[in-house]
Amino acid sequence: MNAPATSLPGGTWTLGNTTVTRFGYGAMQLAGPWVMGPPADHDGALAVLREAVAAGITHIDTSDAYGPRFTNELIREALHPYPESLLIATKVGANRDAQGGWPTARRPDELRKQVYENLQSLGVETLDLVNLRMGDAEGPKPGSLAEAFETLVELQREGLIRHLGVSNVTTEQVIEARGIAPIVCVQNLYNLAHRHDDDLIDRLAADGIAYVPFFPLGGFTPLQSDALSGVAARLGATPMSVALAWLLQRSPNILLIPGTSSTAHLRENIAGAGLSLSAEDVADLDGIGR
């Protein structure tokens, strides 16, 4: 696939055989409170998705567990038939319960069911990228992912999945997955305040594998730091803009998927991620998570 023309910050990265913008969009916040139920503003959610594509974003991250189903159905309503340049990444390995929890669902039959549900709700015959979510809501947990990952490999061979990735994983699980089949990305918690994957990011970059940080701005608890606020004040920018810009400058294999349900906030994120950070700025910021 040809590289998309883009003026978005960070340029592009190639996931498998697909070139995407390093600045992407995470659709989780389009669902209702705590990622359950429909959005309060249906038309506003559609507008954000259309604005993202109009801005040149070619990487959207989602899951049928968001809502559940509501987020995928919004993507389909807003953007289907999808532009050829657009890659939609989804994930499997967890369901939702009535209390809004995320119980694991990684048996072969559960994973196969989730893949078919994503195909249906997105309205496609093949999923561009499927991440296997391991661990739980508290983070990665040790243990083999072989049975679950091999199930996705089978579905890939059947033509239902184009590319594979892993999410919420330990370094050992990344190594295990790569020993079974090629992966194009790792999706873990990482931001200025959570730097535990520094070594993994550098190893993946050397091998041409993307790293996609979820909660790049802290998630449900936004990033707060005197050092971050100080750099932001020096640059006349918001702390969130600085945090996104730092991630893009941290490594060329980092792909951003900040989420928002506001078109104005989406534009602010795009503009903010394009900040140029000096060596002094980076040194101050690097001290936050170390």
Active-site positions?
66
- Which strands make up the sheet holding 127-133, listed edge to edge? 25-26, 59-61, 87-92, 127-133, 161-167, 185-189, 210-214
The rounded distance, in Å, linking the Cα atoms of 225 and 138 is 22
Question: If phi over 0 gives left and psi between -120 and 50 gives alpha, with beta otherwise, what is residue 159?
Answer: left
Neighbours of 202 (CB within 10 A): 13
193: CB partners within 8 A, 6+ apart: 218, 223, 225, 288, 289
**Nearest-10 crossing angle of helices 239-250, 279-286:** 100
Match 């069911």 to its residue by tokens. Answer: 113
Residues paired with residue 163 on neighbouring β-strands, in sequence order: 129
246: CB partners within 8 A, 6+ apart: 192, 277, 282, 285
Q: CB-side exposure of 208: number of CA atoms within 13 Å?
A: 7
Tokens of 236: 């006349």
The rounded distance, in Å, linking the Cα atoms of 15 and 235 is 33
